[in-house]
Homo-oligomer: A and B are copies of this chain.
């Protein structure tokens, strides 16, 4: 009889969510997490980037009965607020009306909510338990207790590695199987900074200081502070290498982000204390091994953060996996291969979309022609609902497969270029031409 016992590696965000879904389906689930319990031990900095929850993440949390509680921890962001060097502000809405926004949420707050909910439903979570070895054919895992140093073996039947971009399970698969694998690092790093409460900045926006080859962004927290992230190249004329010393950061902000500097009294200390982070796109295949091991979430497909889809994509993995389990129950080899077939074209697509969106955020949003294009998109959506849906909306406000959003986005980009040529304002759209161009698009079916 197929096993109803599942071992999950990683108690980050997708791990506990998956555990909840499996427990509800009658499985017995244990999680091993290499870090301490963040409800008891203060965690190191560097993992606190705020998350932007949108349709896919919300849907998964609704399925687990958690969205109502989690939504209390979020701050709605209705659009992008661009800060020019002069301090001038311009606002670009994300969606077609007030029902379309994204939600800023602290990673730690969400993690705590998920850990509490998983344990309340009977999931056993072992913290400080690092997987240090796996015998893939037999399923025997080796764990080290990070507090005591003690090592123990665990016989498992099914193991799902939701252990992030540096997945330990993926390392074992790299060592012992023919795993097709790629990792690609953009030339950019990041540092996290803070704007304290009382800044007076609009809390219902994602703030961007777009500067062509780099940018600063800020996301609202529920405590009235803002989490800021500075993205710069690692090397080059304007880079983290050049701005390495404490006394170089203030003049740089004074020149490039003067309005932000005025709101950041602790910039110099913040900058010096914040570790330099890197980002990576990871793709691999197959996600599964020996019919009993599966990689999921960032472990299978880490992406850069610029579309705000890392969390949403991983949570959608969970939604899809649970739907396949509903169909095939514990026939794990079939479940795993069905999942990868269904999901990989979509995770590959969001990886590319996320890289593209970095250029949009740091550069294009400062271009009036681009902002007009965004307005034209929304006007077309209003005129042709369900038939012309902006790429951003397909990814963020709907659960259209990412691969469809990518391919349809390319077609729509051609249409937009055609319609925006020579017009200076959204009122000038030639709607009869638009109707002809849009007519061949099949209507989208929203889940």
Contacts and interface: CB of A to CB of B under 8 A. Distances in A.
A interface, over-half SS? strand
Interface stretch (A37-45, A60-68, A174-182, A420-428): A174-182
Nearest to A183: B181
Interface string A142-158: 00000000000000000
Nearest to A184: B180
A181 B185 CA distance: 9
Contacts of A179: 183, 185
Contacts of A178: 185, 234, 278, 280
A181 B178 CA distance: 15
Contacts of A278: 178
- How many copies the complex holds: the figure is 2
B181 A182 contact: yes
A183 B180 contact: yes
Interface in A273-291: 278, 280
Interface residues of A, number: 11
A327 to B, nearest CB: 24
Nearest to A174: B183
Nearest to A285: B184
A182 B234 CA distance: 22
Nearest to A181: B183
B182 A182 contact: yes
Nearest to A281: B180
Contacts of A180: 183-185
Interface of A: 178-185, 234, 278, 280
14 contacts: A178-B185, A178-B234, A178-B278, A178-B280, A179-B183, A179-B185, A180-B183, A180-B184, A180-B185, A181-B181, A181-B182, A181-B183, A182-B182, A182-B183
List 3 tightest A-B contacts by C-beta distance, closest first. A182-B182, A178-B185, A180-B184
